[in-house]
């Protein structure tokens, strides 16, 4: 089997679960065989990350901190503007928002549930060690008319998502033979392009690159024209942000036969949770992975590297492939935290003793390198930013 711990570090827990998903994708949908440890670990392995304890691997933007009432609070601070919200989170105008020790002290003066509620209201990526995801992992939130595709039809995917989970889903659909167009905002392109080009290239190779000015009604109209002839849309905007941009997912799914619309979210695509922010590491905590680690080895920590991202990318690709086969238009909401919880439950049901052993090994390895991996080869060019804008978004729609 492809997933084994290497000499440099223990296996990433849930890599074997990912292997089984990828086996099924190869068997049922003809994807080339990829390994779970590669998709879960390639960013960390190539970035030289070390296994994290209570500060997340790599950039270290997410921290697990004990609360007054004996819980653990995860807070991810990677946007400067989010730090300005910390006085409101803790009710303390004098907090030094740049000092991790001051922030940890403020967490220790607070109760976990209150921090979670206020943090979510403030739009901060937060989680609590013992929370339960409130949304289903995979939730069909709208349906539309069917489309029967001719044999040999090559589906067109419009990938408007950013960072890791959504782009990985798009990458797997590209591996399945689909045409993928990556759409980025002119004012805020996908920052992983700049911050981690090696990972960007792996998960965005072979995709056409289109830039859209979301402040321009004309450009947005051209994007909607492109979406109306697509088979799949992937996006990871908060539903409110999408509406404020003027993209009406529910309406498009109701009108375009067979359109499969994947909405990648932290904690759910409908209800109150749709407004919550979640990122890979805190969503892993919200999905119960750090609780499982604490149960296995006595102290909580981060499992993997932003693990909810690659788990969600794999599940997203599977959900799209299954929906395309059914032919019915659907909007599918993915919750990263619920997917992490689902993967944990399924792995526990599959082989609980082995999972426990892996969690124990992981929880006692902070500071050691991530498992070493051979770098995947690029099989297609990475298109320069915006290189395909004119071709994909013509000023006059093709007749």
Partner 1 sequence: MKPGTRLKSAACDTEVMVIRSADGTIECGGAPMGEAKPADAAPLSADFSAGTLMGKRYVDSDGKYELLCVKPGKGSLAVDGVALVVKDAKPLPASD
Question: Could you list the residues that contact partner 1 (CB under 8 A)?
Answer: 56, 58-62, 76, 78-81, 84-85, 87-93, 118, 121-123, 162-165, 185, 188, 191-192, 195-196, 238, 240-241, 244, 275, 279-281, 306, 309
CB of 265 to partner 1, least distance (A): 13
Q: Closer to partner 1 at the Cβ: 81 or 349?
A: 81
Q: Closer to partner 1 at the Cβ: 184 or 219?
A: 184
Q: Residue 60 has which token pair? A: 């270290």
CB of 122 to partner 1, least distance (A): 6
In 3D, which of 99, 79, 100, 103 has the Cα closest to residue 89? 103
CB of 314 to partner 1, least distance (A): 15
Q: Closer to partner 1 at the Cβ: 5 or 189?
A: 189
Pairing of strands 232-235, 156-159: parallel
Q: Closer to partner 1 at the Cβ: 61 or 133?
A: 61
Q: Closer to partner 1 at the Cβ: 59 or 297?
A: 59
Distance, in Å, from the CA atom of 306 to the CA atom of 207, rounded to the nearest integer, reads 23
CB of 290 to partner 1, least distance (A): 15
Q: Greatest CA separation found in the chain? A: 65
Residue 335 backbone dihedrals phi, psi, to 5 degrees: -110, 115
Distance, in Å, from the CA atom of 261 to the CA atom of 248, rounded to the nearest integer, reads 11
CB of 89 to partner 1, least distance (A): 7
Distance, in Å, from the CA atom of 77 to the CA atom of 191, rounded to the nearest integer, reads 16
CB of 96 to partner 1, least distance (A): 14
DSSP β-bridge partners for residue 185: 212
C-alpha distances (whole Å) from 398 to each of 226, 288, 354 are: 10, 49, 56
Q: Closer to partner 1 at the Cβ: 57 or 156?
A: 57
Residues 6 or more apart whose CB falls under 8 angstroms from that of 342 comprise 137, 287, 315
What are the b/e assignments for 83-107, b being 16+ CB within 10 Å? eebbeebbeeeebebeeeebbbebb
Q: Closer to partner 1 at the Cβ: 146 or 240?
A: 240
CB of 169 to partner 1, least distance (A): 14
């Amino acid at each position: 089997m492809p997933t084994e711990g290497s000499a440099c570090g223990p296996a990433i827990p849930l890599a074997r679960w990912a292997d089984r998903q990828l086996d099924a994708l190869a068997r049922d949908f003809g994807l080339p065989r990829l390994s779970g440890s590669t998709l879960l670990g390639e960013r960390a392995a190539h970035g030289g990350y070390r296994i994290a304890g209570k500060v997340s691997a790599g950039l270290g933007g997410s921290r697990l901190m004990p609360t007054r009432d004996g819980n653990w609070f995860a807070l991810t601070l990677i946007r400067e503007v989010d730090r300005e919200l910390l006085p409101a989170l803790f009710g303390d105008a004098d907090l030094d928002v740049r000092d991790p020790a001051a922030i940890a002290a403020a967490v220790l003066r607070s109760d976990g549930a209150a921090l979670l509620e206020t943090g979510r209201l403030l739009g901060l990526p937060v989680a609590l060690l013992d929370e339960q995801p409130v949304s289903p992992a995979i939730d069909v939130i709208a349906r539309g008319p069917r489309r029967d595709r001719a044999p040999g039809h090559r589906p067109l995917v419009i990938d408007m998502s950013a960072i890791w989970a959504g782009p990985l889903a798009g990458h797997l659909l590209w591996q399945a033979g689909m045409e993928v167009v990556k759409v980025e905002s002119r004012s805020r392109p996908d920052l992983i392009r700049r911050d981690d080009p090696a990972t960007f290239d792996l998960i965005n190779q072979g995709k056409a690159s289109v830039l859209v000015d979301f402040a321009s009604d004309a450009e947005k109209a051209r994007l909607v024209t492109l979406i109306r002839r697509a088979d799949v849309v992937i996006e990871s905007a908060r539903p409110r942000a999408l509406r404020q941009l003027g993209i009406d997912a529910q309406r498009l799914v109701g009108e375009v036969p067979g359109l499969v619309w994947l909405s990648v979210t932290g904690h759910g695509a409908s209800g109150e949770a749709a407004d919550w922010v979640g990122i890979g590491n805190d969503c892993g905590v919200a999905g119960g992975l750090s609780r499982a680690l604490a149960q296995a080895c006595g102290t909580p920590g981060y499992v993997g590297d932003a693990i909810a991202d690659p788990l969600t990318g794999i599940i997203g690709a599977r959900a799209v492939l299954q929906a395309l086969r059914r032919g019915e238009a659907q909007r599918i909401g993915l919750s990263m935290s619920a997917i992490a919880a689902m993967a944990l439950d399924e792995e526990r049901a599959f082989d609980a003793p082995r999972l426990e052993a892996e969690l124990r090994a992981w929880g006692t390895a902070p500071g050691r390198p991530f498992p070493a991996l051979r770098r995947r080869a690029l099989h297609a060019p990475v298109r320069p930013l915006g290189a395909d804008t004119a071709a994909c978004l013509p000023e006059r729609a093709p007749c």
